[in-house]
Amino acid sequence: MTTSGAPAGWLDDFSADSNGDVGALLLHGFTGSPASMRPWAHFLQERGVAVRVPRIPGHGTKWQDLNKVKWQRWPERAERDLEELLSKYKKVFIFGLSMGGANTLHLAAKHSARLRGIVLVNPMIHIPDPTIKFIDIIKYITPKRPSVGDDIKKPGVTEWGYDALPMKGVAQLHRFLKTTRSNLPAVQTPTLLFHSTEDHVLPVSNTEIVMNEIGSKDKVRIELANSYHVATLDFDAETIFENSHRFIMEKTK
């Protein structure tokens, strides 16, 4: 996996407006890039939904950059696009993959009353590895570990992310997830969650925590049987895209 050779513009911010009243913010995962969300964004754009796909700070460049970013910059960057969508469109949604799911939940806890719904794909909310408690020591000993990216069942597909796992970035991720989890009861927004039954990056406990701890009573979980972690680029992508659009239609009647 590498960011080298990505299609022109796919590692950068992407936006498209519409003449309708619906907007969607799409948030990529840790060590990933906006490329993992572009097909989904184009699908929605073609159906009249305004879209924003921001490049989250520390991503889409080189892995060392992710070791230089504080976690607060991730939701701050996403919130800029969210506020723009809210200023232009009456009905706004947030969609997130993996850490983008945590970013989605972080924003939804703050803006639930202003959102029509959220869609999560294999959302990350905790790191169960017991060594995570030592991450503030590990990060000075080991600047990186092997990448956990490109967990995609479909042959020949990449998410154009980093080929390394930056340890200082992981330390910030751990803080971000702890903060976000503590606010899950404040997420009152209708929620659609997709979970890959075979995910080599995150254990199912992440999905279970989200489903059990968010405050929303309107929540649905759909299992994906033919995709790994980066399901937005995998065999079940159309299932995600079509069901998420149906979700939008249901919540904007």
Catalytic residue among 174, 229, 234, 244: 229
Distance from C-alpha of 64 to C-alpha of 168, rounded to nearest angstrom: 9
Catalytic residue among 36, 98, 227, 244: 98
Long-range CB contacts (within 8 A, 24+) of 38-47: 38/10, 38/14, 39/232, 39/233, 39/237, 39/241, 40/95, 40/232, 40/237, 40/240, 40/241, 40/244, 41/14, 41/16, 43/241, 43/245, 44/241, 44/244, 44/245, 44/248, 45/16, 45/18, 47/245
Distance from C-alpha of 32 to C-alpha of 126, rounded to nearest angstrom: 18
Tell me whether residue 98 is one of the annotated catalytic residues: yes
Cβ(197)–Cβ(168) below 8 Å = no
Closest alpha carbon to 40 in 196, 253, 245: 245
Catalytic residue among 81, 199, 234, 236: 199
Distance from C-alpha of 62 to C-alpha of 196, rounded to nearest angstrom: 28
- The token pair that represents 160 in the structure block: 């154009």
Distance from C-alpha of 84 to C-alpha of 92, rounded to nearest angstrom: 10
- The token pair that represents 53 in the structure block: 């796909």
- The token pair that represents 158 in the structure block: 């990449």
What is the DSSP secondary-structure string of 193-206? EEEESS-SSS-THH
Handedness of CA 232, 234, 236, 242 (dihedral sign): positive
Question: Where is 245: in which H helix or E strand?
Answer: helix 237-251
Tell me whether residue 205 is one of the annotated catalytic residues: no
Catalytic residues: 98, 199, 229
